[in-house]
Amino acid sequence: MTTSHALMQLQALHDNLLRYEECAISASALSEQARASSALLDSLPPRYGEVLLALLDRLEASTLAAEESCTFNQQELHDNLYGWVEKAREQLESQPQPL
């Protein structure tokens, strides 16, 4: 898997996080897309995957508690997901590119 493919999957995750905040997709759709981002997860140290999966689990659980209400305050969780995206981007961009 190439870093460029991983960066594309990371951008798709970021875009879907925005769509989730606009109530355009569900938490489960966001989570499913993120979990299927194998190029992204394989390009990062294992801890990144562990943290992302934990955040996604929390997001899905909080959404179930709110029963589809987009007004449920999940701002801290969203901030953590955006922070994860930025740290993952920094990690990917710092990796040496193959010749």
Residue 93, exposed/middle/buried by CB under 10 A (0-12, 13-18, 19+)?
exposed
Note the pLDDT of residue 1: 52
The string of pLDDT tens digits covering residues 49-98 is 999 999 999 999 887 766 555 555 678 889 999 999 999 999 999 987 76
Note the pLDDT of residue 8: 97
Prediction pTM value: 0.85
The distance from CA 64 to its chain's CA centroid, rounded to whole angstroms, is 18
Give the mean model confidence (pLDDT) for residues 21-44.
Answer: 95
Domain map of the chain by residue range? 3-94
User: Measured between alpha carbons, how far is 97 from 70 in angstroms, rounded to an integer?
Assistant: 40
Note the pLDDT of residue 62: 85
